[in-house]
Amino acid sequence: MSKIYIGIDIGKHGALAIMSVDKSITYYPMPKIKDEVDYASLSHLLKGFSNMGAHVVFEKLGIIFGSSKTTAFSMGHQAGAIEMGCIAHGISFTKVRAVDWQKQMFQGVETINKTGKSSKDTKAMALIAVKRIFPDLKLTFGDRATKAHDGLIDAVLLAEYARRNNL
């Protein structure tokens, strides 16, 4: 049985990236019904990987500066659902702090600051990193989309982090 790595970017606009040891990638947008995460479909997706030597990696949540209580609760709810889905389907998982996976994946990427601020623009840096590692990977969902999907970018980088660290 071959190992696969599943990076999950939590959030209503998140994504799942499934990577094999040879770096082939399949990906899905976070399943939703209207504007809410479809937990039944998410569980069904995870169940499909339960007998494939899968390892899931997703962000260990911390304080998100500038986010509302509603957003924080929603993100925590989703993280808990993913953790429970992994447990229920017998899939091993790792929660990793954003600073830890970003430190490794952003190696060689110049620091980009948000316009007019001293904080890092991690979304821009992640896009540069994923394009360096996977230059031919389509980073959109659907045929008409032209802007790279932030959730997909992070999910792919999380899966690559798991692959590199043989989680």
pLDDT, tens digit, for every residue of 94-113?
A: 999 999 999 999 999 888 88
At 15, the pLDDT band (50, 70, 90 cuts) reads very high
The one-letter amino acid at 102: Q
Whether 1 shows a pLDDT value over 60: the answer reads: no
Domain boundaries, the chain: 4-164
Cα dihedral: 56, 59, 60, 65 (round 10): -170
pLDDT at site 18: 95
* Model pLDDT for residues 132-149, shown as the tens digit of each residue: 999 999 998 888 888 988
Residue 22 in this model has a pLDDT that exceeds 90: no
Report the distance separating Cα 98 and Cα 81, nearest Å.
19
CB 4 within 8 A of CB 17: no
Tokens 């924080």 correspond to what residue? 72
- What share of the chain has pLDDT > 90, as a percent? 56
Pick 89 or 118 by higher pLDDT: 89
Q: With 70 as the cut, is the pLDDT of residue 65 above it? A: no
Report pLDDT for 107: 92
Query: What is each CA distance from 26 to 73, 85, 100, 112, in whole angstroms?
Result: 29, 20, 24, 29
pLDDT band at 66 (very low <50, low <70, confident <90, very high): low
Kindly report the CATH class assigned to 4-164: alpha beta
**pLDDT at residue 64, rounded to an integer:** 63
* Strand, helix or coil for residue 160: helix
pLDDT digits (tens, 9 = 90+) for 34-53: 988 899 999 999 998 888 88
The pTM for the full model equals 0.90
Mean pLDDT, the chain, integer: 88
